[in-house]
Amino acid sequence: MRKIIVGEFISLDGVVEAPEQWHMQYVSPEMFSIMWALSDTCDTTLLGRVTYEGFAAAFADAPADDPIAAKMNKNARVVVSRTLESLEWANSTVLEGDLEEGVAALKAAEGRDILTTGSTSLVQALLRAGLVDELHLLIHPVTVGHGRRLFDQEAPLTFSLDEATVLPNGVIHAVYRHVTEG
Task: Domain count for the chain, please give it.
Answer: 1
The pTM (predicted TM-score) of the whole model is 0.92
Q: Which residue has the higher pLDDT, 12 or 179?
A: 12
User: What is the share, in percent, of the chain residues with pLDDT greater than 90?
Assistant: 76
Tell me the C-alpha distance between 172 and 136, whole Å: 10
CA distances from 4 to 52, 57, 72, 105, 170 (A): 17, 25, 17, 12, 27
Tell me the C-alpha distance between 46 and 95, whole Å: 9
CATH number, domain with residue 120: 3.40.430.10
Strands 4-11 and 134-140: parallel
pLDDT digits (tens, 9 = 90+) for 9-49: 999 999 999 888 999 999 999 999 999 999 999 999 999 99
Q: Is the dihedral of CA 47, 37, 67, 42 positive or negative?
A: negative
Show the domain range for 93.
4-178
Please check the confidence at residue 182 and state whether its pLDDT lies above 60. no
